[in-house]
Amino acid sequence: MQLMKIKFYVVEDEPENRRGMINLLNSGDHSLVVGDADTVNHAFLGIIKEKPDALMLDIKLLEGDAFILLEKLREIHYPIPPVIIVTGHLDFELAQQALNDFRDYVIHILQKPFLENWEEKYYLIIDKIRTYYLKPSTEFWYQDQVFLFRSGHNTYRIRLKEIEYIEVGGNGTIIIHRDFGDPVKIYMTLNQFLHKSSQEVVRIHRKYAVNKNKIDHIDHEDRMIYLFGHQKGIDIGEVFYPDIIQIIQ
């Protein structure tokens, strides 16, 4: 099943940066830009008119900033779509404030310059937006190191210690690989699973998460994780590599 492209509205006061964002999003397989603006008022009117699925929003704008724009939308009870805040190093604290003040809408902070490892960042943003809109079709409980998944006519009971790794299955599914038995396919996104599950399961790639207790070693040259009993490694995404190093130390 082909998923609909996500419609973005880009708000950035620097013309060159704005054109760059638009080109990157329009060149992606899962997104298109339906409008753009450089001022708070222009963005306010354009968002209401175009009704985008997501906002790519620079923290500082002409005639104000991201806070003013989001507050204006909230004041008229406009259904604010998921927001990606774009910020430079000097504005990172302001971006964190946006995350705190508008936590129901801000799903990601994208730090400039963002061209490095753009593909990883792009798919992470797309996954977060899809998760924001997706209503889980799987009931999910986690208690006492045991996962219970009810999907369709089946209920699966999986212990945390049995999980080796999880991969994205496509079309809103994940595949749970265990140290015994067949893999289990669940109608749920990887983001949804990680949001509700134990911190023992960590994301290492846009397509993979692993049980950190199953990690045998990391090949730093090839950026691969190897699990106990597995000869084949799993790729570590560039975006996730620094966090993985911290987790296993």
Which CATH code fits 139-248?
2.40.50.1020
Strand partners, 234: 225
Q: Where are the domains of the chain?
A: 6-133, 139-248
Question: Domain 6-133, CATH 3.40.50.2300 — does that match?
Answer: yes
pLDDT given for residue 92 in this prediction: 59
The reported pLDDT for the residue numbered 1 is 39
pLDDT value, residue 245: 76
Mean pLDDT (10-residue bins), the chain, 249 residues: 81 92 94 95 95 92 87 89 82 64 82 85 89 61 69 76 90 86 84 77 91 91 92 90 75
Give pLDDT, residue 3. Answer: 65
| pLDDT score at 110 | 86
